[in-house]
Amino acid sequence: MKKMYFREWAIESPKYWGILAFLGLFIGAAALSVLYMEHEGHYVTGMNNQVVWGTPHVFAVFLIVAASGALNVASIGSVFGVKLYKPLAPLSGLLAIMLLVGGLLVLVLDLGRPDRLLVAMTTYNFKSIFAWNIYLYTGFMVIVAAYLFTMMERKANQYTQQMGLLAFVWRLALTTGTGSIFGFLVARQAYDAAIMAPMFIIMSFSYGLAFFLLMLIYTFKAEGRPLGDMILHRLKNLLGVFIAAVLFFTIVYHLTNLYVTENHALESFILVSGGGYTLAFWVFEVFLGGLLPLAILFHPALGINRNWIVGAALLVLLGGLAKIFVIIIGGQAFPMALFPGQTVIESSFGDGINGQAAQYMASLPEVLLGFGGVALAIAGTLVAVRLLKFLPRALDDESLDTQVAKH
């Protein structure tokens, strides 16, 4: 491979500022939404005492999961020694940090008392997976930042592989922690499944890579930097494998639930009678977010068309949001099994009267907060690539040695 040079993102200033202003609109709307929700109280959202985690959590978990997955490309380069991916590693690490920042902001700003963040950072109950996650998240940012330093500072290059390995192990732990938030909740039937942790890891692979592909294609195209098909096709094939793996885990999760009789009502709710949740599952999660992008990416003609690859990556992200929506909100909407063998026929607190699901309708401020987190992650990445040398000058096939490509 030829020597790889990195350069700042040099699109024209008006375009750059225009993009930031556009993203700023979303960030501003999110800030106003937070002020509104925190001032009025959460009753202005769709959340209630049954569905306690709403749309902000869907976005937050989605971004946090995608963050650790965005680091994959760097890991493939540093940990598994695939030289072809090494030029992509700085962008991969940067995007990982920014997605995590975006996700955490959404999560923190939806707390009942975001002003007590200092309490959360200083008072711990180490039995809580949430408390571990605070360390896993902050640790991830520090480790990936150090990893980026070893990549970008020539004198520290010798430590890149070790830092890459540490970051890789840490990201696995992080997603295990995120999945375990749900995996060990005995109270609600949709959770309490150990498969959650590995499923979240594979979800992170898929969503993180989709985000990375989109950012790579966009930044290169906007500036007119050469981006060859060779690297792109490798990445899109990898995305295809990850999509298939997510579908596989989804099937296993539902099949294991169907095996156990007590979960039949839950499965019937998600798969058949859950209205919006059933729609989100089959149409958005399975078809639009799984089967369709899989078909596109492995289609002999569409799979090598850049626009279709972008479309497939966008569909993966849409499907990811739908999947987390079904897990988080669908899982809470399904009534809790307080009295097995009995039907609740009256209650002032919901409690699934006659088996009815809890009501949840996403409110506009919640959605705006979620999109604000996404916008912030993108804006942060664009600002960083503008200021520092994260992007390789060229990734055309000629620049990447074919011998390495066969590696």
> Residue numbers of the site for other proteins (CB under 8 A)?
38, 40-43, 47-50, 52-53, 111-114, 116-117, 119-120, 123-125, 127-131, 133-134, 181, 185-188, 191, 332, 336-339, 341-351, 358-359
Query: Please, what is the minimum distance in Å from the beta carbon of residue 381 to other proteins?
Result: 27
Half-sphere exposure of 109 (CA within 13 A, CB side): 28
Query: Please, what is the minimum distance in Å from the beta carbon of residue 252 to other proteins?
Result: 23
For residues 201 and 286, give the distance between their C-alpha atoms in angstroms, rounded to a whole number: 18
Rounded to 5 degrees, what are φ and ψ at 298?
A: -100, 5
Query: Please, what is the minimum distance in Å from the beta carbon of residue 296 to other proteins?
Result: 36
Query: Please, what is the minimum distance in Å from the beta carbon of residue 30 to other proteins?
Result: 18
How far are the Cα atoms of 235, 350, 399 from residue 392, in angstroms, in the given order? 16, 56, 10
Residue with tokens 């885990």: 249
**Which residue type is seen at 234?**
R
Nearer to other proteins, 348 or 403 (CB): 348
Query: Please, what is the minimum distance in Å from the beta carbon of residue 43 to other proteins?
Result: 4
Other beta carbons less than 10 A from residue 124's beta carbon: 13
Query: Please, what is the minimum distance in Å from the beta carbon of residue 100 to other proteins?
Result: 17
Query: Please, what is the minimum distance in Å from the beta carbon of residue 103 to other proteins?
Result: 15
For residues 77 and 154, give the distance between their C-alpha atoms in angstroms, rounded to a whole number: 17
Residue with tokens 């690539």: 385
Query: Please, what is the minimum distance in Å from the beta carbon of residue 345 to other proteins?
Result: 5
How big is the chain, counted in residues? 407
CB-based contact 117:107 (threshold 8 Å): no
CB-based contact 167:143 (threshold 8 Å): yes
Residues 6+ apart with CB under 8 A from 93: 71, 74, 144, 147, 148, 151, 167
Query: Please, what is the minimum distance in Å from the beta carbon of residue 350 to other proteins?
Result: 7
Nearer to other proteins, 134 or 244 (CB): 134
Nearest to 368 by CA among 112, 59, 68, 47: 59
Nearer to other proteins, 162 or 359 (CB): 359
Nearer to other proteins, 305 or 343 (CB): 343
C-alpha angle 252-255-261 in degrees, rounded to nearest 5:
145
For residues 93 and 73, give the distance between their C-alpha atoms in angstroms, rounded to a whole number: 9
Residues 6+ apart with CB under 8 A from 379: 20, 23, 24, 27
Residues 6+ apart with CB under 8 A from 57: 107, 110, 328
Nearer to other proteins, 105 or 296 (CB): 105
CB-based contact 316:239 (threshold 8 Å): yes
Nearer to other proteins, 230 or 336 (CB): 336
Query: Please, what is the minimum distance in Å from the beta carbon of residue 58 to other proteins?
Result: 14
Nearer to other proteins, 14 or 112 (CB): 112
Residue with tokens 């499923």: 199
Query: Please, what is the minimum distance in Å from the beta carbon of residue 191 to other proteins?
Result: 8
**Tokens coding 106:** 């959404």
Nearer to other proteins, 75 or 263 (CB): 263
- The Cα diameter of the chain in Å comes to 73
Nearer to other proteins, 182 or 220 (CB): 182
For residues 143 and 166, give the distance between their C-alpha atoms in angstroms, rounded to a whole number: 8
Nearer to other proteins, 130 or 248 (CB): 130
Nearer to other proteins, 119 or 301 (CB): 119
